[in-house]
Amino acid sequence: MVQRFRIHYAKTQPLRYVSSLDLHKVWERYLRRAGLPLAYSHGFTPQPRLQQAHPLPLGYLGANEIIDVWLEAETDLSAEEVQARLQATPQPGIEILSVTEIAPEAPALTSQISSAEYEVWFLDPLSPDELASRVTQLLNTPSIQRERRGKAYNLRPLIEFIEILTDTTPGRLGLRMRLAAREGATGRPEEVVAALGYDPFAVRIIRTRLNGATT
Amino acid sequence: MKISVTDPSMIEAWLERNLMRVQKPGRYVGGELNQVVKDWASIPIKVALAFPDVYEIGVPNLALTILYETINQRPDALAERVYLPWVDMEALMRDGGIPLYGLETKHPLNQFNILGITLPYETLYTNVLNLLDLAGIPLFSNERDETHPLIIAGGHATFNPEPMAPFIDAFVIGEGEDVIHEILDTFRDWKAQSVSRDDLLHALLNIPGVYIPRFYRPHYHPDGTLRLMERLTEAAPPVIHKRILGRLPPPPTRPIVPSIDVVHNRIAIEIMRGCTRGCRFCHAGMVTRPVRERSVEEILSAIQEALKNTGYEEVALLSLSSSDYSQITHLVERVSHEATRQHLVISLPSLRIETVSVELMERLKGKRQSSSFTLAPEAATDRMRAVINKPIETGQLLETARAIFQHGWSKIKLYFMIGHPTETIEDVRAIAEVSRQVLAEGRRLIGHRASLHLGVSTFVPKPHTPFQWLPCDTPEQIQNKQRALLDALRGSGIKINWTDPRETLLEAWLSRGDRRLAEVIYNAWTLGAKFDAWHDHFDYEKWMTAFQMANLDPAFYTHRQRSLDEVFPWDHISPGVRKAYLQQEYLNSLQGILRLDCRRQCYACGILPTYKELRRKYPGPHWKCPEIPVHARA
């Protein structure tokens, strides 16, 4: 009998530079090591059934990511059992937060998500006043023309909010932002950083929340 | 290069600032499943294990996997891994003065005690120089002192160590599992009582299988051939015999599981070492003798353990000739049961061309299967097959092909070589003829779904093989043969891959080079040669200039017929196979004399007398050389 589980987890440093495609494989092997039998698709080359919500871009950390997995055990598994087996199995870069069972026919994860929240920490010291004024200016711009993979687009409508973060380490500054995360309309935090006029690579980006998903 | 950062935490900080600027940053961070991180401060012997190419190629390397596990099991030693950065990352590292570092703790390479480099093939040589330079370590052995790591190299290419001799402190000839412990013990004892690097190198001379090139000096005849390899100390052995294990230890079952895609994502289990078929072109077949098998039970328990530790979905059962594993049917039966139960893909490469192989693969299919079936006939005429000692009748090849198509595979890959000794254009055209026949069988059985891919590589004569005396085809000859083959295949619908003749030349120079070639390698590297094994990076002109600068003629190494009494630069390195046997095999090839499976009849290659003590110490059915009394033949 096929069961579907929704797993909330943190993606931490060891998997930071792993793409969502590769992360898929990491999950497959993780579940296999945990003794959780994956359900396979039918067809000539059966594939294990896993679905990541809105794949996390390479280089980001994720504080609360979501994946759905389909399992096919001989006897029914409880969400507690799945969680316990995962937590007892080492997997660098994945910390399990919660596991819940959901209906096998529930809608796909990605379709349920509308926006994502991020923390962006600058790796280099910068002036807080300067940062504040650039943020205000950016938010007041009606249209922010950017180009990504050769395609021009307007970043401004993808930004829901930006606020400034300070840290206990003196001089360390960051931004909290909520950006659209819909099919075909996804804001990227490093684009915001670049639009602010800072080095988009000298940042640590943490996706803290996906909004809109049930549970 | 000049190093400006030496602290691991500063390297980490630099990485975070720069990794998103390069392709595939996951290559440079470590942290994978089954990585072993030991306490840097309290472990006395620190070893870095290097594969001199990028991460994706290096991680699956079995030799380093074995050594990593072996060394990290010692309480007094740690092993970390290092691979070469791709050109984008290298440029950033050079710019920032960032040294190459161990992936586990990010310590710079020059803070390790020992750097072990694997050299499975020759086209990695310039990368070794680049690796040392990126670590801020002097390239030449005689420029290094006590403050630098000891540089060790091993692997199949080091059966001719001479071209790399000036750069390496010590070579390990043969299998490394035992000798690594002797090296680490020697290092530990030396460190306790001396600081002189010379003392260390002298101490290492006592370990069988270790070759320290600085204690040997080559002398040449006016014609450029070797006159004599002079020993500079009595303590240096006149001949270095390769090390082998009397019994294969359990295979590694906790390999690194990379988080990014690499060339082989699978559990690799060697089912045996060595080969008894005696194909005359085959370097591995000569230098890995004798055959020693692992038991079915050992293999199965290793697979179970490794599956538990990795979660991999593919298992490769490795050997030079799987069909010759004595319990192959039994092994396949047992493994196939697991494959079906656990959705595993099992690969069993190097099967012989016979219908039995198809039946074996059929059992291994499980729920998932590769769509293509690979066979390596190597030559297409009976005459050529007798020359190389790989006798497969065309009829048998066609019968096997029929079985493959009938059992559900739609694609066959055939590997051939051109440039075999005495090869004529007719022998080359026969490749196309045989290939057309194979495809015709497929078309007849399954129609247009049937497809055929040809991999046609160019033969390079290797040291320690019966063909070591022979010239290699010139680029013009190779091109003519490739063109003839293409013409003969026109309109057949057969796809074909081949090797660039210039890349073949590089392999040919380096394979049978002497110590003077080190200057050419060095020149090529200073001219910017690196990643020579990558088609887009190999730069023939740089190598030509490098030869000119060193005043050496590349043709001397490649296109020269060597006389039977020539002293070779690798004669003092012994794989246990006698030069007289190789010569006899060379002469046999000229007369088309076949030497079949030597498990049935011993042809006195020299292995039996060389390792008779070892065999006595580790007796058992895992040895596959016949039990025969050893006479004075050695």
B557-571, pLDDT tens digit by residue?
999 999 999 999 999
Q: Is B294 buried (19+), middle (13-18) or exposed (0-12) by CB count in 10 A?
A: buried
CB pairs under 8 A between A and B: 80
pLDDT for residue B401? 97
Amino acid of residue B379: A
pLDDT for residue B337? 87
Token match 């247009």: residue? Answer: B448
Q: B169 or A104: which carries more pLDDT confidence?
A: B169
In tens, the pLDDT along B184-217 reads: 999 999 999 988 999 999 999 999 999 999 999 9
* Nearest Cα to Cα of residue B298 among B628, B627, B621: B621
In tens, the pLDDT along B431-469 reads: 999 999 999 999 999 999 999 999 999 999 999 999 999
State how far residue B455 is from chain A, nearest Cα, in angstroms. 26
Does A41 reach chain B within 8 Å, measured CB to CB?
no
pLDDT band at B364 (very low <50, low <70, confident <90, very high): confident
pLDDT band at B174 (very low <50, low <70, confident <90, very high): very high
Token match 């087996």: residue? Answer: A85
Region B110-115: what's the mean pLDDT? 98
Indicate the average pLDDT of chain B. Answer: 95
Does A76 reach chain B within 8 Å, measured CB to CB?
no
The rounded distance, in Å, linking the Cα atoms of A58 and B311 is: 23
| Neighbouring-strand partners of residue B373 | B412
pLDDT for residue B634? 45
User: Measured between CB atoms, which of A17, A19, A123 is closest to B29?
Assistant: A17
Buried b (16+ CB within 10 A) or exposed e, B548-587: eebebebebbbbbeeeeebbbbbebbbbbbbbebbebbbe
Q: Which residues contact B116 (CB under 8 A, 6 or more apart)?
A: B47, B48, B49, B50, B67, B152, B153, B154, B180
pLDDT for residue A149? 85
pLDDT for residue B363? 87
State how far residue A73 is from chain B, nearest Cα, in angstroms. 13
Indicate the average pLDDT of chain A. Answer: 93
Question: Does A14 sit within 8 Å of B29, measured CB to CB?
Answer: yes
Q: What DSSP line would sit under B10-53, residue for residue?
A: HHHHHHHHHGGGSS-GGGG----BT-----TTT-SEEEEEEESS
Q: Which of chain B's residues have a Cβ under 8 Å away from the Cβ of A202?
A: 17
Task: Tell me the backbone φ, ψ of residue B393, rounded to 5 degrees.
Answer: -75, 145
Q: Which of chain A's residues have a Cβ under 8 Å away from the Cβ of B31?
A: 13-15, 92-93
User: Measured between CB atoms, which of A17, A19, A90 is closest to B19?
Assistant: A17
pLDDT for residue B259? 97
Q: What DSSP line would sit under A39-91, residue for residue?
A: -B--SSS--B-EEESSPPPTT-EEEEEEEEEEEE-SSPPPHHHHHHHHHTS--
The rounded distance, in Å, linking the Cα atoms of B610 and B597 is: 20
Name which of B314-328, B532-546, B615-629 the model is least confident about.
Answer: B615-629
Find the closest chain A residue to B368 by CA distance: A45
Region B341-347: what's the mean pLDDT? 85
In tens, the pLDDT along A148-188 reads: 888 999 999 999 999 999 887 777 899 999 999 988 889 99
pLDDT for residue A215? 41
User: Given a cut of 80, is residue A43 above it in pLDDT?
Assistant: no
> pLDDT exceeding 90 applies to what percent of chain A?
78
Find the closest chain B residue to A37 by CA distance: B342
* Nearest Cα to Cα of residue B294 among B329, B318, B266: B318
* Number of neighbouring beta carbons within 10 Å of residue B492: 15
In tens, the pLDDT along B492-540 reads: 999 999 999 999 999 999 999 999 999 999 999 999 999 999 999 999 9
Q: Which of chain B's residues have a Cβ under 8 Å away from the Cβ of A17?
A: 19, 25-26, 28-29, 260
Please state, in angstroms and as integers, the Cα–Cα distance from residue B436 to each residue in B107, B316, B418, B552, following that order.
56, 30, 17, 44
The rounded distance, in Å, linking the Cα atoms of B508 and B586 is: 18
Please state, in angstroms and as integers, the Cα–Cα distance from residue B526 to each residue in B130, B133, B137, B542, B557, following that order.
9, 11, 15, 9, 22
SS3 at position B201 = helix
pLDDT for residue B629? 61
Does A93 reach chain B within 8 Å, measured CB to CB?
yes
Residue B343 CA to chain centroid, in angstroms? 30
Find the closest chain B residue to A90 by CA distance: B33
* Number of neighbouring beta carbons within 10 Å of residue A145: 11
In tens, the pLDDT along A121-145 reads: 999 989 999 999 999 999 999 999 9
* Nearest Cα to Cα of residue B24 among B341, B261, B333: B261
> pLDDT exceeding 90 applies to what percent of chain B?
93
Domains and CATH numbers, chain A: 2-110 (3.30.70.2510), 113-211 (3.30.70.3190)
CB B40 within 8 A of CB B7: no
The rounded distance, in Å, linking the Cα atoms of B151 and B261 is: 30
Question: Does A46 sit within 8 Å of B19, measured CB to CB?
Answer: no
* Number of neighbouring beta carbons within 10 Å of residue B144: 18
pLDDT for residue B37? 98
Question: Does B16 sit within 8 Å of A123, measured CB to CB?
Answer: yes
The rounded distance, in Å, linking the Cα atoms of B569 and B513 is: 7
Q: Which of chain A's residues have a Cβ under 8 Å away from the Cβ of B29?
A: 14, 16-17
The rounded distance, in Å, linking the Cα atoms of A26 and B46 is: 30
> pLDDT exceeding 70 applies to what percent of chain A?
99
User: Given a cut of 80, is residue B295 above it in pLDDT?
Assistant: yes
pLDDT for residue B631? 58
In tens, the pLDDT along B69-100 reads: 999 999 999 999 999 999 999 999 999 999 99
CB B136 within 8 A of CB B125: no
Q: Which of residues 291-310 of B touch A (CB under 8 A)?
A: 307-310
Question: Does B311 sit within 8 Å of A29, measured CB to CB?
Answer: yes
pLDDT band at A210 (very low <50, low <70, confident <90, very high): very high
Question: Does A59 sit within 8 Å of B25, measured CB to CB?
Answer: yes
Please state, in angstroms and as integers, the Cα–Cα distance from residue B201 to each residue in A103, B183, B216, B278, B402, following that order.
68, 11, 13, 36, 58
Q: Which of chain A's residues have a Cβ under 8 Å away from the Cβ of B96?
A: none
User: Given a cut of 90, is residue B7 above it in pLDDT?
Assistant: yes
pLDDT for residue B542? 98
